[in-house]
Amino acid sequence: MPIIDTLGPSWDLVADLQILLHYHFMQNAFLAGTLVALAAALIGYFMVLRGMSFAGHSLANVGFAGATGAVLFGIAPVVGLFFAGLLAALGIHTLNLGERQSRQSDIAVGAILTASLALGFLFIHLATAEYAANVYNILFGNVLGISDGDVGVILRAVGALLVVLAIIGRPLLFASLDPDVAAARGVPVRGLGLGFLVLLALVVAVAVQVVGVLLIFALLVTPAAIAQQVTARPALALMIAVGLAEIFTWLGLAVGFFTPYPVGFFITTFAFVGYMLARGGHWLIQRLQQHGVAMSEGGVA
């Protein structure tokens, strides 16, 4: 769906930016996208570190049932998303699926994921036919349809996340990397694990509007995974993850605006390309290093 049929990029950067930010819906899209990318990249770093990308992704998918259920019962979708996420968080926590992934936890998470998608399917069936069209928005996001009120909700949620993360960030890092020692040092490892899942549910609830429950992986996991390939310094990795998430989001919004194709597709695709480049680059560097070692050893011998 082309946004403005007659517009294409003029390739004059300033003029293009002016057009991009001319419309109120695009201003809202950029605001919401920037905030969501920030929050998702930060929480995503811990998700990758804790080895629970799949559990986190499933928590997002449970949001599908939450959002559709919320509409059915006349609640705001974002509230439904958050409470579904909270329930999923409690489930994951109680079943101890937050531990580093094992085969058993993968199965349990997959079972919960599918059951919740089926529940969402039922809710859509029960809701009016008119609403069924909105399913696309929940699954893939609707960043161009964000209202001023939505921006306000996202702003408050991301603000709360930043404050909480600033307080618990360091013990959470400790507990994520080294739970046994952290527990012996008096760090409330279990409590932090649950707190992390609640924060994740909050991020997912607000991020769904931008990228949808199915594409959220692109902002949560991919930037953090690339950042951890690039550097082993936690603070720097967090900054790189945020930077990448913002770049993917802004590029996706800009390209989506000037082409007839959806924004979510571009955000996800840019993230994927970035990930492939990072993996490829990492592989190449390792090969070169091995080659270099072989060469120097050969030289010594």
Partner 1 sequence: MTEHMDAPSVVAPAAEPVIQVTGAAVQLGGRTIWQDVALRVAPGEFLAILGPNGAGKSTLLKAILGLIPLAAGSIRVLGQPARRGNPAIGYVPQRRHFDADVRVRGSDIVRLGLDGGQWGLPLPFLQPDKARVARQRVTEVIDLVGASAYVDRPIGELSGGEQQRLLIAQALVTQPRILALDEPLDSLDLRNQQGVAGVIRHISRVTGAAVLLVAHDVNPILPALDRVVYVAHGQVAVGTPEEVITTETLSRLYGTPIEVLRARDGRIIVVGQSAEEGVSYHAHH
Task: Tell me, by CB under 8 A, how many residues bind partner 1.
Answer: 28
By CB under 8 A, tell whether 171 contacts partner 1.
yes
- E runs forming strands in the chain: none
By CB under 8 A, tell whether 279 contacts partner 1.
no
Nearer Cβ to partner 1, position 147 or 296? Answer: 296
In DSSP notation, 204-218 reads HHHHHHHHHHHHTHH
Q: Looking at this protein, which amino acid is placed at residue 151?
A: V
Instruction: Name the DSSP letter for residue 101.
Output: P
Q: Residue 79 — φ and ψ, nearest 5°?
A: -70, -45
Nearer Cβ to partner 1, position 65 or 97? Answer: 97
Q: Which two tokens stand for residue 284?
A: 């190449």
Among candidates 201, 220, 209, 222, which has minimal Cα distance to 272?
A: 222
**Residues 16-55 as x/- pattern, contact with partner 1 by CB under 8 A:** ---------------------------------x-x----
By CB under 8 A, tell whether 232 contacts partner 1.
yes
Tell me the closest approach of the beta carbon of residue 202 to partner 1, in angstroms.
19
Judged by CB under 8 A, the residue of 22, 170, 279, 287 near partner 1 is 170
By CB under 8 A, tell whether 167 contacts partner 1.
yes
d(CA 191, CA 198): 11
SS3 142: coil
Tell me the closest approach of the beta carbon of residue 205 to partner 1, in angstroms.
25
Nearer Cβ to partner 1, position 114 or 231? Answer: 231
d(CA 67, CA 215): 15
Q: Which two tokens stand for residue 88?
A: 């999923």
By CB under 8 A, tell whether 184 contacts partner 1.
yes
Nearer Cβ to partner 1, position 65 or 242? Answer: 242
Q: For residue 217, how many C-alpha atoms fall within 13 Å in the half-sphere facing its CB?
A: 14
Residue that is written with structure tokens 């990930």 in the block: 275
Tell me the closest approach of the beta carbon of residue 55 to partner 1, in angstroms.
16
d(CA 208, CA 214): 9
Nearer Cβ to partner 1, position 174 or 250? Answer: 174
Q: Where are the alpha helices (DSSP H) in the chain?
A: 13-20, 24-49, 53-72, 77-94, 103-126, 129-132, 135-140, 148-177, 179-184, 189-215, 217-220, 222-230, 234-258, 263-300
Among the listed ranges 136-144, 164-172, 195-203, 255-263, the one in contact with partner 1 (CB under 8 A) is: 164-172
Judged by CB under 8 A, the residue of 169, 190, 194, 265 near partner 1 is 169
By CB under 8 A, tell whether 105 contacts partner 1.
no
Nearer Cβ to partner 1, position 228 or 259? Answer: 228
Among the listed ranges 58-66, 108-116, 230-238, 293-301, the one in contact with partner 1 (CB under 8 A) is: 230-238
Nearer Cβ to partner 1, position 32 or 55? Answer: 55
By CB under 8 A, tell whether 190 contacts partner 1.
no
User: In Å, how far from its chain's centre is CA 40?
Assistant: 4
The contacts of residue 168 (CB under 8 Å, 6+ apart) are: 192, 195
Tell me the closest approach of the beta carbon of residue 69 to partner 1, in angstroms.
36
Nearer Cβ to partner 1, position 7 or 49? Answer: 49
Task: Please check whether residue 4 is in contact with residue 20, taking contact to mean a CB–CB distance below 8 angstroms.
Answer: no
